[in-house]
């Protein structure tokens, strides 16, 4: 028994084809939007690649771009099917391609749902990637004359100013690394010697931060050095005073930025899913309604459209049988192969045998 059967008149089939044609082109446009969102997100991720430890999060924009392009192609095909559905002589050529179309459209819907799930599931991976990447970026901040790291200082400075952040977790991260290159240190200075000798790694550590950590909205001139020394500045208390530095760490700032970007794609992706499902179901009804009318040899008469020719269980069983049949067809029977080789050997022996003498 057919599932969700609907009766269609000729006029109703025409209206369905016209409405589906408009819906298909709407899906084409939304596919372009999804592709552009994927490109934008990919570009933003690549811009910060130097402060990311891995590229796992790139799977989200990659799927968006792939699904966007595939959605444009599949829905363009759907619009062509709608045009040919009104011509009984042209529609039969779509019978086999539509099977592949339904499979591709179903996969697209599943991938779009996966994108929404991955946007939330990969938040932990994004944070860990930024944590390691920013830690390395801060550690290599001073290496302006090392090949491969010479732009790290500029990258970190621009990042902190653009996102109004400081350090990995906060500004204290700068206290734990030497961020001033040795080429700019006066090793004859007693202060420099004392600071280098004060730690086992012989690093020049400061209770200070780079200029890019300064908050320009602070009414007080920026205090960058001796931040933990209350006597170094007038009317200053390190423990209680709100410093004129950015208080938020860059890891949190970047995580919030990228999660906001991915979350903003959610409504668009959900809209595409609904439109794609509408195209999928409507095209199935149009296909079965037109094919039923052609079977009845009355293209202008009434016909019935349905989603599944049989029930759900029966359809699943048929799919299993068809899949097993295809697998058996693709396998080679060893007995048959052995028999054919024996026959071939026998024929070869007969050809090679000397001719019998004439009596």
pLDDT in tens, the chain (359 residues): 556 778 888 889 889 999 999 999 999 999 999 999 999 999 999 998 889 988 888 998 999 999 999 999 999 999 999 988 888 788 888 888 888 898 899 998 898 888 888 888 888 889 999 999 999 999 999 988 888 888 899 999 999 999 999 999 999 999 999 999 888 888 888 888 888 888 777 888 888 999 999 988 888 888 888 888 888 888 877 776 567 889 899 999 999 999 898 888 888 888 888 999 999 999 988 888 888 888 888 778 888 888 777 666 776 776 677 667 767 765 555 555 455 555 555 555 555 555 555 43
Q: Residue 164 gets which letter from DSSP?
A: T
> Would you state the pLDDT for residue 332?
52
State the Cα angle at 16 between 12 and 20, rounded to 5°: 175
Q: Give the pLDDT of residue 69.
A: 93
Q: Can you give the pLDDT at residue 358?
A: 47
Contact 115, 59 (CB under 8 A): no
Bridge-partner residues for 305, per DSSP?
6
- What are all long-range contacts of 143-150, with beta carbons under 8 Å and residues at least 24 apart? 143/181, 144/181, 145/181, 145/183
Residue 329: CB atoms within 10 Å:
7
* pLDDT score recorded for residue 26: 93
pTM of the predicted structure, to 2 decimals: 0.76
Q: Which residues of 186-223 are buried (b: 16+ CB within 10 A; e: fewer)?
A: eeeeeeeeebbeeeeeebbbbebbbebbbeeeeeeeeb
Distances from the Cα of 126 to the Cαs of 10, 43, 49, in angstroms?
Answer: 54, 16, 12
């Amino acid at each position: 028994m057919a599932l969700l059967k609907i009766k269609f008149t000729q006029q109703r089939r025409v209206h369905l084809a016209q409405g589906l044609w408009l819906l298909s082109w709407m899906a084409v446009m939304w596919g372009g939007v999804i592709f552009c969102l994927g490109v934008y997100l990919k570009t933003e991720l690549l811009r910060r690649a130097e402060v990311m430890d891995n590229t796992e999060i790139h799977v989200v924009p990659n799927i968006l771009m792939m699904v966007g392009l595939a959605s444009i192609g599949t829905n363009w095909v759907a619009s062509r099917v709608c045009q040919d559905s009104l011509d009984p002589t042209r529609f039969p050529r779509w019978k086999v391609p539509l099977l592949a179309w339904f499979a591709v459209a179903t996969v697209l819907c599943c991938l779009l749902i996966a994108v929404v799930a991955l946007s939330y599931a990969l938040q932990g991976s994004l944070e860990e990637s930024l944590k390691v990447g920013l830690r390395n970026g801060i550690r290599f901040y001073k290496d302006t004359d090392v090949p491969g790291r010479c732009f790290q200082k500029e990258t970190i400075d621009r990042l902190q100013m653009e996102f109004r952040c400081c350090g990995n977790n906060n500004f204290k991260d700068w206290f734990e690394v030497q961020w001033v290159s040795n080429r700019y240190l006066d090793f004859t200075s007693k202060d420099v010697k004392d600071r280098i000798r004060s730690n086992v790694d012989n690093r020049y550590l400061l209770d200070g931060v780079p200029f890019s950590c300064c908050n320009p909205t602070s009414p007080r001139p920026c205090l960058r050095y001796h931040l933990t020394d209350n006597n170094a500045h007038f009317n200053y208390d390190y423990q209680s005073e709100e410093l004129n530095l950015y208080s938020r760490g860059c890891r949190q700032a970047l995580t919030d930025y990228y999660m906001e970007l991915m979350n903003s794609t959610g409504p668009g992706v959900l809209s595409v899913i609904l439109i794609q499902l509408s195209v999928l179901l409507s095209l199935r009804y149009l296909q079965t309604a037109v094919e039923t009318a052609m079977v009845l040899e009355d293209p202008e008469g009434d016909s019935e459209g349905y989603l599944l020719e049989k029930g759900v269980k029966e359809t699943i069983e048929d799919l299993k049988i068809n899949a097993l049949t295809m697998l058996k067809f693709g396998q080679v029977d060893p007995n048959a192969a052995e028999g054919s080789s024996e026959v071939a050997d026998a024929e070869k022996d007969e050809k090679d045998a000397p001719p019998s003498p004439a009596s």
